[in-house]
């Protein structure tokens, strides 16, 4: 087998893996699932014919635009509760400031 053929197969494999992972993550987010057990995704990918481990998946997903935090135990998608809590905290601060501004008396 030629080296160029092996390199071509390797790049095709990585592209297919990336497509399969992205499709899975988008499907989970669309269904409102924002945290995924890493081992579940590993099992799904292995069932699709890929050969991945939790550690290799963590390295692979650290560059993904769909994930906010990736560990061997779990994968948090962008928009997961930690980010929602942060947004809610910002909203609460703005709401309190607005109430304070509305309740203070204007000096004319």
- The model's pLDDT over 33-71, given as tens digits with 9 standing for 90+, comes to 899 999 999 999 999 999 999 999 999 998 889 999 999
Question: What integer pLDDT is reported at residue 12 of this predicted model?
Answer: 81
Tell the burial category of 10 from Cβ atoms under 10 Å away from its Cβ (0-12, 13-18, 19+). Answer: exposed
**CA 39, 42, 46, 52 torsion-angle sign:** negative
- The model's pLDDT over 11-39, given as tens digits with 9 standing for 90+, comes to 688 889 999 999 999 999 888 889 999 99
pTM of the model as a whole: 0.64
């Amino acid at each position: 087998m030629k080296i160029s053929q092996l390199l071509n197969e390797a790049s095709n494999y990585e592209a297919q893996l990336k497509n399969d992972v992205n499709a899975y993550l988008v499907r989970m987010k669309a269904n409102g699932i924002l945290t995924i057990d890493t081992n579940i995704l590993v099992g799904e990918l292995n069932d699709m014919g890929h050969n991945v481990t939790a550690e290799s998946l963590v390295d692979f997903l650290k560059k993904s635009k769909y994930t906010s935090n990736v560990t061997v135990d779990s994968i948090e998608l962008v928009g997961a509760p930690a980010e929602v809590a942060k947004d809610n905290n910002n909203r609460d601060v703005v709401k309190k400031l607005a109430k304070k501004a509305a309740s203070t008396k204007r000096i004319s």
